[in-house]
Structure 1
Amino acid sequence: MKLEFDGSPPPFGHAMLKYFAFDPDYVNLNHGSYGSLPLPVLAACNKLTLRVESNPDLFVRVDQTALITKCRAQIAEFVGAEMNEIVLVRNTSHGINTIMRSFEWNAGDIIVTCSTTYDAMAGLVRFLHDSAGHPAVSTFVIQWPTSHVAIVAGYRAHLQSLPRHPGQKVVAIIDSITSVPGALMPWQALVQVCRELDVYSLIDGAHSIGQEPNINLGKANPDFWVSNGHKWLYCQRGCAIMFVAERNQAIVKSSFPTSKVYKSPADRAFPGETFIEQYNWNGTINFVPPLSITAALEFREWLGGEDAINNYCHNMAVRGGAHLASLLGTRVMDETGEFTLSMVNVQIPLPPSVQPSEAINSLFNQKLLAPTNRKTKISAGVFYHNNAWWTRCSAQIWTELADFELLGNVLQEVCREVVDELQAIAKL
């Protein structure tokens, strides 16, 4: 997957748009949801796809294991983990499902979530509660304004309040960066709290790799950690990295779906035997997305490396959020800046009396992404939190302040239209 570049990269900002396949009438301020594949990485993926299709038997039976091993080595170094603790999966939801379904749940076990836990993970927890063993669910509430110090103290108190008994399992799902609002959590400190209180820590790092600088899993020492490569790292969808600490590999007894190399625990020479091998091939898939890690890392290095990318995106998020709040006459959610990396949350002028619903979400999606009254389409997350409406904007290497200005104009227009439509419906 060797990339070929001509010269040095242009400056960050709109000059970077030529390296992405965006519709010229589309302004992307929602990169955090689905990621955005750079054209050079796409070209490398297409080249690898042709290699696969030229001889599928050779690739699957001989070549792909060595390529996966290379990617695992690269990404293990990137996140500060041991290589034998890293495997590649389809996406973060896939990885967390694999881990959580591997626990043998019993009555009295507890799964700890947060009010900010991603919807799909909250759904998984409800499913597990409804399944054999029926583990209880305990939710820690996070509302802004708050602080990292307050979250850590409150989380400790929440865990300490749980009823405990011998033989009980308590597993905490912790976001490293929450989805809505887009906010950096003090997850390393929360992992330490879990360790002190004999609680398994499973980090939902969906937004971390490529956005969060200096990830060091060896130092943070969570029990489990999963992150998408296709969101912020520029890999092809779907690609995710799953970390399982060596001490816990006996828990994750099988890949999902189960691989042909599965061994019963009684037949294993050591607890983690076959852990890595199960993820090298567990059914025919498109092998290209996880292998795009190499091309994505090379593209990022050509751009100037992690510090250059993260610093630009962070500064643009801070400046853009402040500018958008000024245009809307509102405020940013994170006034101190301790929760902000490359996503910023700004209040929008929609009355709190408008309650969240699927209908409201559909209205915003329609009016932002498929408008009938303007040519330009724009994406940004819209959500309800603590009696107010907010937009979550993802800053990227192509983002400029002008994009926030455009979003501000569109949001003012859309908020008026949403209120008018709701009032019209109420009169019917």
Structure 2
Amino acid sequence: MTQMAFPGDAPPFGHAMLKYFAFDPDYVNLNHGSYGSLPLPVLEACNKLTLRVESNPDLFVRVEQTALITKCRTQIAEFVGAKVNEIVLVRNTSHGINTIMRSFEWNSGDVIVVCSTTYDAMRGLARFLHDTPTGPDLSQFVVQWPTSHAAIADGYRAHLRAIPRHPGQKIVAIIDSITSVPGALMPWQTLVQICKDEGVYSVIDGAHSIGQEPDINLGKADPDFWVSNCHKWLFAKRGCAVMFVAERNQGIVKSSFPTSKLYISPADRKFPGEGFIEQYNWNGTIDFVPPLSITAALEFRAWLGGEKAITAYCHGMALRGGAYLANLFGTRVMDQTGEFTCNMVNVQIPLPQGVQPSPSIDALFNQKMLAPTNRKTKVSAGIFYHNGAWWARCSAQIWNDLSDFELLGSVLKEVCAEVAHETLR
């Protein structure tokens, strides 16, 4: 992917940034965390790369793509503080964690540890593995706000120590670095160390981390496994993700998914991780543009002013927007101390406790906010239920300003009243 050219200095963050995204002018996006949002300069670079691929697919796939993928891996390894030979690219975080978790040779009496806040698909994966013959047992650690990083760490250590142990047992913990709902930064580095102390493998679901969480340093944190989406907060094209497998564990992940033609049987390997990188460089025909868009995304972020500038604006906007909504609703933000807040803020919304969570409630909110019949403007935020109350998870990005939270507030007051009326009558 060729280096992008930008027209002078970047504009200030806020609504001046909207011209660099393809949003419908009647759509206000406060839910970037769910699916990501592709900047137009990155889209342009992707389109050029697509034409390059299609001009000679044989040349690109057989000769050129490996060097470009290696460049992306090298860039992203530096970005997250990992060794290049510990980094490969996959479709998304769910794909990566499935690859890791299905690679373990499970025996009866092994244990998978999840949290009550573990992403639904990962909880489903743990349940699926449990349901297989000789599948592992499941153990759930409960997290409910209000809490603190210190309380979570203390409780997690106690939870691991309470699991009955026996010789030869594997215990594997799936840990969110930033939970999906609520959108909250976890003390994952501390939890990784606790796992080391207790002889537990750590699998970090970092879906929301890269591009949102500042100062990721995998070499220092040293998890066993870590996966993060590049199409969410990093601004790459969906879907692509980075999967980190520590050198010591590459013998566990014996095969890519799907299995590559470059697979080497463990009995034939000169060392446990032989062939690890090569399998992911080629494991079937794909659209190579999304993973290669990482290069353009990093260039765009550098043009914007770099990670510190982006993080400072988005974090500050999340705090300001959350405080505004809580005051408007007469409620509260979930994170009173700020230690859980990166660029997503969770605010209690004015919906009665009598409204219970269900797929129909989710559909009702989606319809009224994203496809309204009584107003032109559409607005998005993640609506969820936690610990007896309803909340909005708002993602703050470089194109948002406080007026977006003001609009969301007015819409949510109206929508909450309608949902309560329709469900409690």
Question: TM-score, with normalisation over the residues of structure 2?
Answer: 0.99
SS in 2 for 1:292: helix
Q: How does 1:72-87 map to 2 (within 5 A)?
A: 72-87=73-88
- How far, CA to CA, are the matches of 2:424 and 2:75 in structure 1? 55
Contact 1:105 1:132 in 2 (8 A): no
- What is the one-letter code of the residue matched to 2:240? C
The aligned counterpart of 1:349 is 350
SS of equivalent to 1:276: helix
- Runs of at least 5 residues in structure 2 that lack an aligned partner in the other structure: none
Map of 2:412 onto structure 1: 411
Does 1:231 pair with 2:232?
yes
Equivalent residue number for residue 70 of structure 2? 69
Distance 1:78 1:283 in 2: 27
For structure 1, the 5+ residue unaligned runs are: none
Report what 1:206 is aligned to.
Answer: 207
Indicate conservation of the 8 Å contact 1:333/1:346, yes or no.
Answer: yes
Alignment partners' CA distance in 1, 2:303 and 2:215? 19
Identity of aligned residues (%): 80
1:278 aligned residue: 279
Residue 110 of structure 1 is matched in structure 2 by: 111
Aligned to 2:40: 39
Q: Amino acid of the residue matched to residue 162 of structure 2?
A: S
Cα deviation code 1:259-284 (max 9, x no counterpart): 00001100001100000000011011
Task: Give distance in 2, aligned partners of 1:251 and 1:132.
Answer: 20
| Superposition map of 1:316-327 within 5 A | 316-327=317-328
Cα distance, 1:423 vs structure 2: 3.1
Q: Deviations over 1:306-328 (max 9, x none)?
A: 00000000000001100011111
Q: Distance in 2 between matches of 1:391 and 1:289?
A: 30
Give the match's secondary structure for 1:32: helix
- State the Cα deviation string for residues 28-83 of structure 1 (Å, max 9, x = none): 00000000000000000000000000000100100000000000000000000000
**2:92 match:** 91
Shift of 1:132: 2.6
Partner of 2:264: 263
CA deviations 1:284-340 (Å, max 9, x no partner) are 110000000100000000000000000000000001100011111111000100000
CA contact (8 A) 1:172 1:199 kept: yes
Q: In 1, are the aligned partners of 2:355 and 2:424 still within 8 Å (CA)?
A: no
Map residues 373-384 of structure 1 onto 2, 5 A cutoff. Answer: 373-384=374-385
Q: 1:246 maps to what in 2?
A: 247
**TM-score computed with the length of structure 1 as normaliser:** 0.99
Structure 1 residue 147 corresponds to structure 2 residue 128: no
5 Å-filtered alignment, 1:385-424, equals: 385-424=386-425
The DSSP-based 3-state class of the residue aligned with 2:390 is strand
Q: Is the 8 A contact 2:354 2:424 kept in 1?
A: no
Structure-2 separation of matches of 1:200 and 1:133: 19
The offset of 1:222, in angstroms, is 0.2
- Give the secondary structure class of the aligned counterpart of 1:391: strand
Alignment partner, residue 57 of structure 2: 56
CA distance in 2, matches of 1:256, 1:372: 44
Equivalent residue number for residue 171 of structure 2: 170
Q: Secondary structure at the match of 1:102?
A: coil
Residue in structure 1 matched with residue 186 of structure 2 by the alignment: 185
Secondary structure in structure 1 of the residue aligned to 2:385: strand
Cα displacement string for residues 376-414 of structure 1 (whole angstroms, at most 9, x for unaligned residues): 000000000000000000000001000001000000000
Separation of aligned partners in 2, 1:81 and 1:332: 35
Name the counterpart of 2:370: 369
Question: What whole-Å deviation, never above 9, does each CA across 1:315-368 have from its counterpart, x for those lacking one?
Answer: 000011000111111110001000000000000000111110000000000000
- State the distance in 2 between where 1:313 and 1:393 align: 11
SS at 2:102 equivalent? helix
Match status 1:216 vs 2:217: yes
Task: State how many pairs are aligned.
Answer: 424
Alpha-carbon distance, 1:205 to partner:
0.1
Equivalent-residue separation in structure 2 for 1:422 and 1:254 (angstroms): 49
> How far apart, in 2, do the equivalents of 1:110 and 1:419 lie?
41
How many angstroms apart in 1 are the aligned matches of 2:424 and 2:30?
Answer: 29
**Alpha-carbon distance in structure 1 between the residues aligned to 2:316 and 2:27:** 22
Question: Is the Cα contact below 8 Å between 1:86 and 1:243 reproduced in 2?
Answer: yes
- Give the letter for the 1:101 counterpart: R
In 2, Cα distance between the equivalents of 1:5 and 1:52? 23
In structure 2, distance between residues paired with 1:289 and 1:271? 30
Residue type of the alignment partner of 1:48: L
Cα distance in 2 between the residues matched to 1:69 and 1:280 = 8
- How far has the Cα of 1:419 moved from its partner? 1.0
Q: Is the 8 A contact 1:209 1:232 kept in 2?
A: yes
Look up the match of 2:305. Answer: 304
Distance 2:423 2:225 in 1: 44
Verify the 8 A CA contact 1:84 1:276 in the aligned structure 2.
Answer: yes
Where in structure 1 do 4 or more consecutive aligned residues deviate above 2 Å?
Answer: none
Q: Distance in 2 between matches of 1:4 and 1:369?
A: 35
Letter in 1 for 2:194: V
Deviations 1:124-148 (A, max 9, x none): 0110001132200000000000000
Superposed displacement of residue 422, structure 1: 1.2
Secondary structure in 1 aligned to 2:143? coil
CA distance in structure 1 between the partners assigned to 2:205 and 2:417 by the alignment? 36
**Residue 3 (structure 1) shift:** 1.2
